[in-house]
Amino acid sequence: MRQQLSALVCGLLFAMGLGVSGMTQPQKVIGFLDIFGAWDPSLLFVMVGGVLVYGLGYLWIKKVPKPLFAPQFLVPTSRHIDTRLLIGAALFGIGWGIAGFCPGPALASLVTLGRAPLIFGISMILTVLIFERIQNKKERVS
């Protein structure tokens, strides 16, 4: 139960951070990505703030044997670069540049019941659902 509660608080804090930062405003995101035009670099500081806290925190966590509410840390360790990673990131970048939504802000914006977040969000959720189905089928075959 402690794990569920901490996840709930983290989700809440994360959405607050997105809203305060401006990441939930697609026109701001597009302004940030418009590096060849009227560039608005402000959202760069979202990454600066996030990486500062998480980077310093991570250095400290490395010395901690296990998380407080779970038996072990589950952190990805793969260093393998493949085309899957690059093509995936490229497709994501194109979609992000078209609509100004990445997954977090899109999901948090669903509560507004606005037209754009609903259309984008439902399309994204259905796509992920199909992706997971195909993934599971592939795993069953192999």
**According to CB under 8 A, which residues from 39 to 58 bind other proteins?**
40, 42-55, 57-58
* Among 63, 75, 138, 141, interactor with other proteins by CB under 8 A: 75
| Binders in 100-119 for other proteins, by CB under 8 A | 100-104, 106-112, 114-117, 119
Nearest to 14 by CA among 24, 4, 27: 24
User: Rule CB under 8 A: is residue 5 a binding residue for other proteins?
Assistant: yes
Q: Is 86 in the site for other proteins (CB under 8 A)?
A: yes
The least distance separating other proteins from the CB of residue 142, rounded to whole angstroms, comes to 14
CA distances, 94 to each of 37, 68, 91, 102 (Å): 17, 38, 5, 11
Q: How far is CA 120 from CA 12, 31, 98, in A?
A: 21, 19, 11
User: Of these, 63, 120, 138, 142, which contacts other proteins (CB under 8 A)?
Assistant: 120
Which residue type is seen at 104?
G
